[in-house]
Structure 1
């Protein structure tokens, strides 16, 4: 369980570029040839956690919990299984908001624009790793927990469009129209095309 120690604007945030540079150097804690973990130590926020490969699937959840390299939580275990079942050799877990909170209700009420800006840099970096990035929308109904989360998704959708990314959901969307959260999905759940723009247009 991770309970935020306070608002993220009280933290000294490590900018994404500096955090990435640290993550690309050898670590005594995990195999950097296998894992991409940014920042590369456990903290109150996380930009990226995933595995390295030539054909990654970028999974977009809501916010990080306790997972770390070699210590995936059930959600990340499901993400890895579905990515491999879908023909991808690796997964890259990204989140709409970078604050760690096991319970979404513990996320801060007001978003931190600096944290979002750095998280957006992280997303653009992930998009740059593939000529046609594959992005799996996986935030479930939790997107409704905070008003600012949908605004963040709109920024990421714009970045993905600029990169020529293709969006997917795991199985059909929920009755609410939101894409399924990865937890409890079957390992062979099919990845289906997802019209992110139509989804956002329906929520304006």
Structure 2
């Protein structure tokens, strides 16, 4: 079933990232927490992180979450995992420019919820902290053009990455539009290539 937002996220009482992370690190009857990182650790109208645990993770950045959960990856996350492993990483961590769940990007809320973005930014900084040299895969396709606020969010994440020396990549060459490829239709052995995120957020 697709996920259609039940309203705007400013109508929700948000689970803040740090308490949600603490809960996600505790044993769960629903999935193996030694294998999965899932924040929040129950299905809701938003998701900060979903991925696998490892010593050499690849942070994959999409636009917004859909229905995926531990042991129930959707096709996009299955593709992301395949490409991460094919490029020598032992795990992948799916993060999104905007945390609201919506299977169709057209269903994303029309205006930015600053509170949700602030918590999502904490999630990204946490992911960056897991590696001495974080590797970040830009994987959002043309969907970033769906809402004006998405590029503004992306500029914040670029700044966070720059602060810790993150290395950014794309899978294959850029689209004609100048945006990086979405993972869904890429071959599983597609090679990652360096991506100049500062030029991208400054010139797009």
Instruction: Return the TM-score normalized by structure 2.
Output: 0.99
TM alignment of 1:35-184, pairs within 5 A:
35-184=36-185
For the residues of structure 2 that align with 1:85 and 1:39, how far apart are their CA atoms? 28
1:13 aligns with 2:14: yes
For the residues of structure 1 that align with 2:20 and 2:26, how far apart are their CA atoms? 10
**Gaps spanning 5+ residues in structure 1: where?**
none
Tell me how far 1:40 sits from its aligned partner.
Answer: 0.1
**Gaps spanning 5+ residues in structure 2: where?**
none
Q: How many residues align?
A: 203
Instruction: Return the TM-score normalized by structure 1.
Output: 0.99
For the residues of structure 2 that align with 1:129 and 1:163, how far apart are their CA atoms? 11
For the residues of structure 2 that align with 1:141 and 1:7, how far apart are their CA atoms? 23
Over the residues paired in the alignment, what is the CA RMSD in angstroms? 0.4
Report what 2:200 is aligned to.
Answer: 199
For the residues of structure 1 that align with 2:164 and 2:49, how far apart are their CA atoms? 18
Q: Which runs of 4+ in 1 moved over 3 A?
A: none
For the residues of structure 1 that align with 2:124 and 2:200, how far apart are their CA atoms? 20
For the residues of structure 1 that align with 2:202 and 2:124, how far apart are their CA atoms? 22
